[in-house]
């Protein structure tokens, strides 16, 4: 992988696809600057090697160039986070932008307007990509969050920089860390797959079975497996059309020598509410009218035991409805077990929107080895797919 560290940017202009798709509040202020901080090493590295940076990103899903989706709202926060004045131009192609780029001096940053103000961005339009490409000497992709999209700025544009394209440091480190699990993981390798539905994780599970030793299945999706084996799950979340899939996964795991760990007990509730009446029940004997919303104490101990013996750990998806305090303990205990194993030398990687939200909520994000910044992109890598944004930099 060629990265920005392999290029001398002296007096050169770098067009960097960043992921500045950050959340804004009703006053249009940035409420979480994680993605801006994640792009900082790449930007600073280019500025320090004597170049200038032209930043391009999307923000939200504009339909008609609505003001709320303008990247001008993030200029102050980006300036503060990067420690360098971020200049802004209210378009991303055309004469006005080319003028602003021509005036850009080494050490300076220019942020372009939302790429998705043009439908051509998502369409992967080649002309639009060519117009963007005119702005700079080098193309750098550092937007892991959109690397699974074949959009104009994330993939198509790379063809206009056959020699002068490279990975940003964030994108490179995402790929390296995922490969530390998928390609060169030290055994025993344990994957924890949780979340609401098995249907959204089937391809991930099928792909990783070849690479892991243990599979912990938690969260709502576990009840489809429990029911498929004849358990009584009350009103827990179940996908009845995936019962056979669950059985097939278990059979395939056995064939591949992967040990599957399902919850044995659950925190049950009489409604989907933080104030519900709760109890503990074996997962396969949940009374009618009750639902499993978190892993029970016996399960937490069993999962922690597997994790403590793992050298490589991949975590995607919470094992309970962690957003509600009454059902957060399973996810907290799992996070703590992973933190302990990491302290003892295991490599732990977690990703997927909800797991990241969970570890942040419980302040465990600094206690795992790596937190991936891309939900959909990470899932597609786990599914074994080639991401267009990465592929375009390699060929």
Catalytic residue numbers, as ranges: 35, 197, 353, 376
Minimum CB–partner distance for residue 370 and ligand AMP (Å): 18
CA dist 139 to 9, 46, 93, 160, Å?
A: 11, 12, 15, 9
Strand ranges in 202-248 using DSSP code E only, listed in sequence order? 214-217, 232-233
Minimum CB–partner distance for residue 181 and ligand AMP (Å): 18
Q: Does the footprint of ligand AMP cover residue 389 (CB under 6 A)?
A: no
Q: Does the footprint of ligand AMP cover residue 284 (CB under 6 A)?
A: no
Tokens at residue 280, please? 């503990």
Q: Does the footprint of ligand AMP cover residue 317 (CB under 6 A)?
A: yes
The mark string for 175-214 relative to ligand AMP (x by CB under 6 A, - otherwise) is --------------------xxx--x--------------
Which segment (113-121, 248-256, 313-321, 360-368) binds ligand AMP by CB under 6 A? 313-321
Element (H, E) at 179: helix 169-182
Minimum CB–partner distance for residue 306 and ligand AMP (Å): 19
d(CA 181, CA 252): 20
d(CA 343, CA 87): 42
Give whichever of 124 and 219 is closer to ligand AMP, judged by the CB atom: 219
Where do we find the tokens 């490409």?
133
SS (H, E, C) 89-128: ECCCCCHHHHHHHHCCCCCCEEEECCHHHCHHHHHCCHHH
Which residue is at the shortest CB distance from ligand AMP? 195
Q: Does the footprint of ligand AMP cover residue 320 (CB under 6 A)?
A: yes
Q: Does the footprint of ligand AMP cover residue 263 (CB under 6 A)?
A: no
Buried b (16+ CB within 10 A) or exposed e, 139-150: bbbbbbbbbbbb
Q: DSSP letters along 331-350, please?
A: HHHHHHHHHHHHHTT-EEEE
Residue 169: alpha-carbon gap to chain centroid: 16
The DSSP symbol for 75 reads H
Q: Exposed, middle or buried by CB within 10 Å (0-12, 13-18, 19+), for 68?
A: exposed
Q: Does the footprint of ligand AMP cover residue 234 (CB under 6 A)?
A: no
Which segment (44-52, 63-71, 316-324, 376-384) binds ligand AMP by CB under 6 A? 316-324
Minimum CB–partner distance for residue 32 and ligand AMP (Å): 17
Q: Does the footprint of ligand AMP cover residue 219 (CB under 6 A)?
A: yes
User: Among residues 55, 237, 350, 364, which is the contact residue for ligand AMP, using CB under 6 A?
Assistant: 237
Give the residue among 292, 273, 277 at the shortest CA–CA distance from 233.
Answer: 292
User: Among residues 113, 120, 239, 354, which is the contact residue for ligand AMP, using CB under 6 A?
Assistant: 354
Q: Does the footprint of ligand AMP cover residue 352 (CB under 6 A)?
A: yes
Counting residues that bind ligand AMP (by CB under 6 A) gives 16
d(CA 289, CA 235): 6
Minimum CB–partner distance for residue 237 and ligand AMP (Å): 4
Minimum CB–partner distance for residue 297 and ligand AMP (Å): 15
Q: Does the footprint of ligand AMP cover residue 293 (CB under 6 A)?
A: yes
Q: Does the footprint of ligand AMP cover residue 38 (CB under 6 A)?
A: no
Write out the residues near ligand AMP by the rule CB under 6 A: 195-197, 200, 219-220, 237, 292-293, 317-318, 320-321, 323, 352, 354
């Amino acid at each position: 992988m060629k990265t920005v560290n392999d290029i001398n940017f002296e007096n050169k202009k770098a067009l960097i696809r960043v992921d500045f798709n950050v959340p804004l509040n009703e006053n249009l202020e940035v409420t979480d600057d994680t993605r801006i901080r994640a792009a900082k090493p790449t930007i600073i590295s280019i500025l320090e090697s004597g170049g200038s940076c032209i930043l391009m990103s999307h923000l939200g899903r504009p339909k008609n160039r609505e003001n709320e989706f303008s990247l001008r709202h993030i200029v102050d926060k980006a300036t503060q986070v990067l420690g360098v004045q971020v200049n802004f131009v209210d378009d991303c192609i055309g004469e006005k932008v080319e003028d602003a780029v021509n005036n850009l001096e080494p050490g300076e940053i220019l942020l372009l307007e939302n790429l998705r103000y043009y439908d051509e961005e998502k369409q992967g339009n080649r002309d639009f990509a060519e117009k963007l490409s005119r702005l700079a000497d080098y193309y750098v992709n550092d937007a892991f969050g959109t690397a699974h999209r074949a959009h104009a700025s994330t993939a198509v544009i790379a063809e206009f920089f056959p020699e002068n394209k490279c990975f940003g440091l964030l994108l490179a480190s995402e790929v390296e860390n995922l490969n530390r699990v998928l390609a060169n993981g030290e055994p025993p390798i344990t994957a924890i797959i949780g979340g609401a539905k098995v249907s959204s994780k089937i391809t991930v599970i099928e792909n990783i079975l070849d690479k892991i030793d243990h599979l912990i299945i938690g969260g709502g999706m576990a009840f489809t497996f429990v029911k498929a084996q004849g358990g009584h799950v009350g009103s827990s979340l179940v996908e009845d059309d995936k019962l056979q899939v669950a059985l097939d996964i278990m059979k395939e795991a056995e064939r591949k020598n992967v040990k599957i760990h399902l919850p044995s007990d659950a925190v049950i509730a009489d409604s989907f509410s933080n104030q519900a009446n709760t109890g503990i029940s074996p997962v396969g004997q949940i009374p009618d009218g009750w639902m499993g919303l978190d892993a029970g104490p016996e399960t937490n101990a069993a999962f922690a035991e597997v994790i403590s013996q793992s050298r490589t750990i991949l975590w995607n998806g919470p094992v309970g409805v962690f957003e509600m305090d009454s059902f957060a303990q399973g996810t907290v205990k799992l996070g703590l077990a992973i933190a302990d194993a990491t302290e003892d030398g295991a490599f732990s990687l977690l990703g997927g929107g909800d797991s990241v939200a969970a570890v942040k909520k419980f302040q465990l994000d600094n206690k795992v080895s790596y937190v991936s910044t891309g939900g959909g992109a990470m899932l597609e890598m786990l599914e074994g797919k080639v991401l267009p944004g990465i592929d375009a930099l390699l060929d």
